[in-house]
Structure formats: structure tokens, C-alpha cells
Structure 1
Amino acid sequence: MASDGVEVSNKQVIFKDYVTGFPKESDMELRTSTAKLKLPQGSTGLVVKNLYLSCDPYLRGHMTKHDRPSYVQSFNPGQTVTGYGVAKVLESGDPKFKPGDLVWGPTGWEEYSVITATESLFKIHHTDVPLSYYTGLLGMAGLTAYAGFFEFCSPKKGETIYISAASGAVGQLVGQFAKLTGCYVVGSAGSKKKVDLLKNKFGFDEAFNYKDEPDLDAALRRYFPDGIDIYFENVGGKMLDAVLPNMRLKGRIAVCGMISQYNLEKPEGIHNLMSLIVKQVRMEGFLVSSYCHLYGKFLETVLPAIKEGKITYVEDVVEGLENAPAALIGLFAGRNVGKQVVVVSRE
């Protein structure tokens, strides 16, 4: 840091132009500029040093130029990529925060950021767990799993739960929440390593590699001979189509994401929607932003479970801002094992 605290070198990941199909590393580039570490007079924002960044599939939506309403705004070509992260406050114009505080929330993919929307930030009070957890387990992914499973799905002991993309940031937690509730849990993932993780690390009752299943409907009937009470949807497309006729009466489908569809110019059609009527299934999408008011309750539930060893978490950690684009692109090829985290600085 500069001795006068005013200006420093600042590496940034820049979004180059709108993307069609699968994103590539070359859709982003690393640049070095300068950052002012002094706030303008009267500013109510923060200057932060970014420590950890979260790689999440929803960022793909920011890379598209939307011609219809979307829950994410398009990045502008030439702007810094933004997403969730963990940061240290260097200077504050907001009385709720002071220099030295640790926070998590929306920030830039850069070494230093000025954050004006401080209402979106959460102060980190519990530092006896890894700080990187606030990009996932104790951050957006954790709250997503908690809200989607407990608030929407209303699980009951003994119910059957199926989770797609189950070894990812959200899925691994939903499965563990389900086991703690006393449910029968099956997850799917895209490699033997991930399947082993689900069964041996996260305690799923069963797990399978969907790439090894030529008939997804038959696979689900094998694992759920009496049907599925709750499906936590992260994939969409053919997986959702196979799940629908395997739902039980009055089942619930929480639609968290559809990663198989994000890079398609024309999304896949769903043929089995009649099952929603026949089985009286409730299927609903949700956004974690609607559940931020539950964050305190979420921490009260999850922190003790972590400390007691009842919940575990796997991260795929990449060192260096320069490796952030490759880490993000890797999500869409299934290269990550667990929550994808980028370390910007450990200071």
C-alpha cells in the first residue's frame, strides 16, 4: 500500500464483450490500473481490499446482452467483473463499518474496490471458521441452500430427497441439511470423484454419475422406487424432464438453478409438465435475495453444526486473481470439486 494511503496499483478482471454459447477465458482479461484508497468528501461508501472471490454459475447471465427481463443485469463491455466476495475495510464513510472490519457481499474482481451499495454487505463477526467460507457455506450459497430447502421445501423426517449438481456449493449443503432432518438423500454429479465425495464425505445415502446413465428415468426409478418427495433443482433440461414423472403426490420442486441451460442459445424443451397436475406437485423458482432477512437465523443453525462436525464443506481453491477467469469457465465444464473460490490476498 502507498505510504500516503491515496493510490495503489490495482489488478482487475475486465469483461470484454457479450457472450453467445459457452464462455471462454478470452472473454475476460487481466488489466492493471490504479485505485484511490481515499473516499471522496462526503462519501458513504467503503474502500475495501478483496481477499476471496466466489465463482458462481449465475455470473454467466451477466455476460449475455438481455433482450428480455432477467434477474441479473448485463455487464457492460470494458467493466470490471463483479460478484460475491470477502473483503477487508480500509476506509469507511458508512457508520455501520469501520477500518479493519471484514465483510462479505458484492464486490469487484480486483485487488481493491470502492463499494457504494453498502446495504448489500454483511459484516463478518465469526472469524473462528475459515474466512473463505463466507464465499460459500456461510455466504450466498449457504443461505440459498438453507432458504430453498427449509423455507420452500418444508421437509419432513423420512421424506425422499433428490439433488442434482449435488457436489456443488449449494447441493452439498442441501444434502447435509436433509440428512440432519432425517431424510433419505440421493445426489447426482458428473464424475466418480464427486460421487464418492457425496457418499463418503457428505453422508448421502446414495449418489450416481449422471454421465454413466443412458436412461435418467430408469436411474431415478432405481434409487426412488416409491418416488421423490423433494427435488432440489440445479440442472434443468433432460434431468428435470426425467424427475417430473418420478415425483410423489404433493411433491415439491425448488428451482435454484439450471446450469445445463445457461450456455444454450435455445433452451431445451420439457415434455413431462403434465406430471405437475397429475401428481399435484408444487414447483417454484426462488432467489436468495428474497431471504436475506433470514441470515441471522441461518447462522444460528449452521455455525454450531460446523463446530460440532455435523456439517462439512469442500472448497476448490485457486490462488491469484489472474486465475479467476479460468476458474469461472471451469464451472461449466464441471472441473471444480466443491465450492470454487479464488484467493486474491490472504492478508
Structure 2
Amino acid sequence: MYFCKMSWPDYEDIYKKIIEVATFLDLPRFPDITEDCCLHPNILCMKYLMEVNLPDEMHNLTCQVVKLTGIGEVDFLTFDPIAKMAKTVKYDIQAIAIIIVVLKLLFLLDDNLEWSLSNLAEKHNEKNKEDKPWFDFRKWYQVMKKTVDEKKQKWEEARAKYLWKSEKPLYHSSIDKSVVYKRREMVVNLQKQFSTLVDSTPTVEKKSPSSFQFNWSEEDTDRTCFHGHSLQGILKKKGQLLTTKNSLYWLSTQKFCKSYCKHVTTYEESNYSLSYQFILNLFSFLLRIKTSFLHEEVSLVEKRLFKAKYSKIKKKSSRSKKVRRY
């Protein structure tokens, strides 16, 4: 039997099928997801902070969000198909949602505050070139936008040029196997000879698989690496603790859809700031998922983080409004 690829698999469909198959097979509880596991949000947050070139200091903040929301607990993370309400955590999407929430806590992402903080960081870095640089959101945005645009173009070109054929020759019976393989070998040899004659570019060998799509290094002079940059210009001391200078926060979703609805919330780009749209598009491209799917996970994390705020929101709210954090 031969299978033909008709379309790219959808993340949501795969997620639903995982639950259905595990429930159908009546599988026992999966191994516990502890802090040492690669699927724990603290570890995944560090991975994606490195991936998108954000400061290492943000990891302390993501860990605090994980602790406050309780999404780092073993029972919450571990998949149990035989439970009454069988559900599995979208580990990577959840970790990215936590990072987006932290970015909103720091910069608000309202197309105003993030640029004001960038101006302060730029002035400080110009006057104190020998000190540890402050994180400049504007500069990070410019570097990431250029990098992502180049990556998207290469990805689209590679996808357009991809040959949808099996690397191994297909044969209908064991009798034809030797003949088919011999013919394939002859074709490959002839292609190599002709490519040598016409001086064409040799075929590039496949790179070993990696979980990182972007690589950042302090030694790279072409692109700025922000891993070692400081959040000092964004945080302030309050006693012995560090808090954000920004005291505002706007909720991505104020009213969630009812249980019989197919989705938790809706996402319309026109209702949100350009900075928030860029962040969603950046991470959505990274995971090859829909922006609405990521926006939904951000809303769910916020719902756990701001329980008191959601209880006070009026039912007739139609758009996100700024709320003050205490």
C-alpha cells in the first residue's frame, strides 16, 4: 500500500488525535513530568528564550509565572488518559505563552511603552559602553524581524523546490527489487556525471537535525546577541525584591467562549497592538502553528495568573482594556 502526502498536518488535529488514541487504548498514566524533565516549562522557557535571542535574566521571571500559575506541578503536566477529563498539555506552546506574558509584564506591548523604554536603554548604552548593556526592545525587534524574514524566505524556497518522492525506490514485488535498485543506482550515477560536466553546484549534504532554528553567539559580529543584556532599565527595587517599572497590564481575552464552542477565544489582529502581533507571528512561525492557537494559550495562562481580575470583568466587555496590577 502506498501513501501520498496530500497536505501538511495541523497541530490542533494531531493534539486531538493524541488524546483520542491514548484514551481508546486505555493507556495508563504517563511518567511524571518533573523539574528535571525536558518537557517542564522552566526548561522549555530557557530553550525558547535562547532561541529568540532574549535576555537570560528573563528566565527568573518565567519561573515565577510558572510557580504562581501552578502549571509547573506534576499533576498538571503529566498526561493521564484514563482520568475522567483526559487532557494533555501543549508543552512547547504553553512555555512560549509564558514568555509572551512576561514580555507583556515588562513592556506592556501597547505600541508605546516598549518604545519609550527602548529610548532609555539606547541613551544608557551610548553613555555606558563599557558596562553591561541594557536590553533594547527596538533593537531586538529589528534584529529578529530581519532574521525571521530571511528564514521565512529560505523555508518557502526550500518547500517550493522540495521533490515529493521517496528516497528509496518503490517496487511491487520482491522479484522486482534487485532490478529497481539497479536502475535507481544507474540514474544517480548518471546525474552525478552530468552535473560534473556542466560544472553545476554539487548537492549539499543534509544537516544533522537540531531543535534550534536560530543560533546566536556573542562572537557573531553580523547579528547582535541579547542573551547577556540586562533588564536593569525595566526593573526597579522594592525593598529586597525586584519589580517591573511598568504597573499596567492588558488582558489578551476578557470573555472566554462557552464550553460547547469549538474554541476558547477568538483572535482578530486589528484588535491588538503591532508589537503583540509581531511576537505572536514570531513564535507561531517557530512552531509552525496558527497565531490564534498561540493567542488562546496566552489567554489561558493569563486566566490562571489573574484570577481576581477575571472575576471582576464585566460580561459585556468587547475589547481588551488595561488593568492595574497590584
TM-score bin, normalised by smaller chain: under 0.3
Higher relative contact order (CA 8 A, sep 6+): 2
TM-score in terms of structure 1 length: 0.27
TM-score in terms of structure 2 length: 0.28
